[in-house]
Structure 1
């Protein structure tokens, strides 16, 4: 299922698919074209039971420096009502949902900066390995928006705990790989040159698993993780994001 994409490098080796964000000149910021390519790839994974694992990584110095803020500004300039941002927000939610619900095990290979929407992309993966030099940040409040990208807030709180995530969002402070592991945002931390070996220790047994058993296990874990959520408020995140940015734009013009 190898295709040529503008924003990704996709390679398959037997039952393992490697997907590398490939816009290093922008820090692999999550633009709409990149989201479109990810949706195409993850849709194909869902239709291919032969793929047992998907490894998501980033080219260049950083895994992902967040959403494409230049794209946000251009979208608002073209449509101050924020219609384009709603479309973008819904694509972000669909990508994150696909990482979580696809039958293959999704693995984040993290290095360099993992910022904002990059944290969201990583935390929706089933397993996360990070270089010991990784740096993380949830900067949304510092740049004047709510933490609404991709429906990340409930996932973060479920994975790492409400109290600590509240602190990280309200302070918008940097934290390192050791802290991320303490919070269960990383499952393992290794020197960057050992990342591939660490991921191979996961993929080697995964490729021997029954595809139906893997899919069922993921369905069960997602169901139990969401059992105490009466409603999925993250469905409103695209609306929240576009409304907040539109209001900020209106205030600046006013």
Structure 2
């Protein structure tokens, strides 16, 4: 799928930052099966490209996404009837959150207006969520007689704790940016016309000051190790990584640039230089081209 083939999103790379935009503003970016397919493709495209250092995920128009497109009077789960069988079917929002979770590239969500249901759960695996003062959030599943998706019952308590996750999910109430920020759901809040630029400013800072291999490893460690019942598996991974720092080209450049008081130029690339000692090094993260 070429970038020009997208219908429900847009994809643009500029100065090593990929901007993926939900692009159904006339439907307040209602989430569709086609949008799910295109998001999965675009996110994996960005992650395979060593020239893309950060992804910004945002929406066209005044809203990020109002969740599943209900204009047809119900929920489109037609893919469950395909020949692959229902046991292999993955719900659309979860496919997006899973793809982000497995990426090496950091993802910043820039949210304006409504982010509700699947339009919110797809952001929970992002590394940062920046929102506008006019943003409204809701895990409204119980009020629609349906169930949480996007693996949100796993992500949300890790972000805000079980008490707040229960409050939001069981009541299904809609809440504002101040409550979301105070509860730990958001990284920061900005004026509506400033939120996307704030996301790109953060992306540029990551691009200019961090090593892509280090970011990829740290991101994976947080996703895979931070929820363990013991710190010792993380310590084992730490030890295997630190043991080889003396000959690590990125580490050498990081120290040298610090001592020379200049911006770093890290030589490592994710496609070539991820440490082989990582326990998950042989696990696939992308579907084949």
TM-score range, shorter chain: 0.7 to 0.9
Which residue number in structure 1 is paired with residue 218 of structure 2? 217
- SS for the counterpart of 2:119 is helix
Distance apart, 1:198 and its partner CA: 1.7
Unmatched runs of 5 consecutive residues or more in structure 2: 231-289
1:89-145 CA-partner distances (Å, limit 9, x unpaired): 444322111112211110000000010111101222110110011011111001101
Matching of residue 195 in structure 1 with residue 184 in structure 2: no
Distance apart, 1:70 and its partner CA: 4.5
Distance apart, 1:43 and its partner CA: 1.6
Which residue number in structure 1 is paired with residue 228 of structure 2? 227
Which residue number in structure 2 is paired with residue 233 of structure 1? none
* Cα gap change, 1:194 to 1:73, in 2 (>3 Å): closer
d(CA) in 1 for partners of 2:126, 2:43: 12
Which residue number in structure 2 is paired with residue 19 of structure 1? 20
Distance apart, 1:196 and its partner CA: 2.9
Matching of residue 174 in structure 1 with residue 179 in structure 2: no
Unmatched runs of 5 consecutive residues or more in structure 1: 230-254
Stretch of structure 1 that moved more, 67-76 or 57-66: 67-76
- What is the correspondence of 1:34-49 to structure 2 with a 5 Å cutoff? 34-49=35-50
d(CA) in 2 for partners of 1:88, 1:31: 15
d(CA) in 1 for partners of 2:91, 2:170: 24
d(CA) in 1 for partners of 2:29, 2:197: 23
CA RMSD of aligned residues (A): 2.4
Q: If each structure's helix is expressed as a fraction of its own residues, which one has the higher value? A: 1
Distance apart, 1:11 and its partner CA: 1.0
8 Å contact kept, 2:36–2:95: no
Which residue number in structure 2 is paired with residue 124 of structure 1? 125
1:186-245 CA-partner distances (Å, limit 9, x unpaired): 10001111113322331122112222111111111112233249xxxxxxxxxxxxxxxx
Larger Cα-atom Rg: 2
Distance apart, 1:161 and its partner CA: 0.6
Stretch of structure 1 that moved more, 123-132 or 44-53: 44-53
- SS for the counterpart of 1:124 is coil
Which residue number in structure 1 is paired with residue 260 of structure 2? none
d(CA) in 1 for partners of 2:122, 2:11: 17
d(CA) in 2 for partners of 1:94, 1:146: 16
Q: TM-score, normalised by structure 1?
A: 0.81
- SS for the counterpart of 1:93 is helix
Question: Number of residue pairs matched?
Answer: 225
Distance apart, 1:151 and its partner CA: 1.1
Stretch of structure 1 that moved more, 40-49 or 12-21: 40-49
d(CA) in 1 for partners of 2:71, 2:126: 26
- SS for the counterpart of 2:134 is coil
* Cα gap change, 1:212 to 1:196, in 2 (>3 Å): same
8 Å contact kept, 1:16–1:52: yes
